[in-house]
C-alpha cells in the first residue's frame, strides 16, 4: 500500500480496497497504522504520501545536488538579462547560480536586482555600484535564508520589474509551477505579479514533478530554463503550452 501511495501520491480508501481485495474498513485501519508511523498523511477519503507533501531541505543540503547542471541553468538564465533592466531574483540554489553568473558579467551595467534571498544579496555585493541591489523586507526563514511576508508583499506592491528569475521545486505540464513551502509560494506569486517577463529556473530533476503549493499555471510563464537531464517528453509538453524552454548545455 505504501509503495502505491508513494507512486500515485494520493490514493483513496476505495481504490486501496479494490486493488488489494480488502474491505474499506481494513484499508482505513492500514492507513491509520501508516499514518501513526509517519509514512503517510491521512486526508478525507484516503491518504497522501509524505514524500508528495515535499520535505523541505536546507539550502546547504541541496546546493551541491546536480551542481554542474544548476551552474549551467544559472548562466543561461543570467544571459537573458540586459543592461538597464530591473530584475527580481528569487531564492534558491539555482537562482544563486544565476546571481553568480550576473556577477561574472563585467560588461553588464545599470541593472537593479531585487531579491528576497539574503545569500543572493551577498553574492551580488561585490557588483555594487555596477549593479544596484535591493533586499525585499520580511520575516527571515533560515532554511533558505529567505525573507517572506508581511513586508515582502508591501514592497512588491510598488515594483514594476522587467524580468523575474523564479526558483521552484517542480514544473509540470498540467500542474504548473509548484513549491514545497506555502509561505514561499505566496511570495513567489507576488514576484510573478511584479514582473513583465516570467522566467522559471528548474534543473532537469524538477521537470514533470508537482508539490503541495501551486505557484502559477504555465500560461503565466514566458520561459523555462532547465538542464540537459530534463526529460525530452516533458520539455516538449511544456512547449506545447506556448512556453519557451531553454535547455542549458
Residue 161 binned pLDDT confidence (cut-offs 50, 70, 90): very high
pTM for the structure as a whole: 0.76
Cα angle value 67/130/117 (rounded, 5°):
45
**Comparison of pLDDT for 104 and 60, the residue scoring more:** 104
| pLDDT at site 3 | 78
Percentage of residues in the chain having pLDDT higher than 70:
90
The pLDDT tens digits for 72-129 are 999 999 999 999 999 999 999 999 999 999 999 999 999 999 999 999 999 999 999 9
230 to 3, 71, 129, 170, 183: CA distances (angstroms) = 25, 15, 37, 12, 27
The per-residue pLDDT of the chain, averaged, comes to 88
- Classify residue 129 by burial, with Cβ atoms within 10 Å: 0-12, 13-18, 19+: exposed
Query: Cell 509538453, residue?
Result: 237
| Whether pLDDT at 61 is above 70 | no
Q: How far apart are CA 136 and CA 60, in angstroms?
A: 22
pLDDT of residue 58: 60
With 0-12 / 13-18 / 19 or more C-beta atoms within 10 angstroms meaning exposed / middle / buried, residue 175 is middle
My answer on whether omega of the bond before 225 falls inside 30° of 0, hence cis, is no
Whether 53 shows a pLDDT value over 60: the answer reads no
- Nearest-angstrom CA–CA distance, 142 and 91: 12
pLDDT of residue 7: 67
Domains of the chain: residue spans and CATH: 2-53 (1.10.10), 59-248 (3.40.50.1360)
The whole-number average pLDDT for the span 195-208 is 95
Residue 143 pLDDT exceeds 80 = no
Give the number of other Cβ atoms within 10 Å of residue 136's Cβ. 24
The residue ranking higher by pLDDT, 67 or 238, is: 238
Q: Say what percent of the chain tops pLDDT 90.
A: 61
C-alpha distances in Å from residue 78, one per residue of 3, 50, 99, 158: 40, 35, 7, 24
Amino acid at each position: 500500500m505504501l509503495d502505491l501511495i508513494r507512486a500515485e501520491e494520493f490514493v483513496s480508501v476505495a481504490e486501496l480496497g479494490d486493488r488489494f481485495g480488502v474491505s474499506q474498513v481494513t484499508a482505513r485501519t492500514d492507513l491509520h497504522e501508516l499514518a501513526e508511523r509517519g509514512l503517510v498523511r491521512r486526508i478525507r477519503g484516503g491518504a497522501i504520501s509524505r514524500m508528495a507533501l515535499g520535505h523541505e531541505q536546507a539550502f546547504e543540503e541541496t546546493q551541491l545536488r546536480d551542481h554542474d547542471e544548476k551552474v549551467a541553468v544559472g548562466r543561461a538564465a543570467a544571459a537573458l538579462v540586459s543592461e538597464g533592466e530591473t530584475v527580481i531574483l528569487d531564492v534558491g540554489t539555482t537562482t544563486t547560480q544565476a546571481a553568480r553568473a550576473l556577477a561574472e558579467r563585467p560588461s553588464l551595467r545599470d541593472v537593479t536586482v531585487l531579491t528576497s534571498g539574503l545569500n543572493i544579496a551577498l553574492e551580488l555585493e561585490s557588483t555594487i555600484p555596477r549593479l544596484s541591489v535591493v533586499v525585499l523586507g520580511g520575516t527571515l526563514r533560515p532554511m533558505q535564508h529567505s525573507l517572506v511576508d508581511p513586508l515582502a508583499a508591501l514592497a512588491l506592491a510598488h515594483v514594476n520589474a522587467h524580468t523575474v528569475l523564479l526558483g521552484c521545486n517542480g514544473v509540470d505540464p498540467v500542474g504548473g509551477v509548484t513549491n514545497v513551502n506555502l509561505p514561499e509560494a505566496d511570495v513567489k506569486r507576488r514576484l510573478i505579479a511584479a514582473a513583465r517577463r516570467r522566467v522559471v529556473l528548474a534543473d532537469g530533476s524538477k521537470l514533470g514533478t508537482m508539490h503541495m503549493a501551486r505557484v502559477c499555471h504555465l500560461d503565466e510563464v514566458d520561459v523555462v530554463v532547465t538542464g540537459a537531464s530534463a526529460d525530452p517528453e516533458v520539455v516538449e509538453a511544456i512547449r506545447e503550452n506556448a512556453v519557451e524552454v531553454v535547455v542549458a548545455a
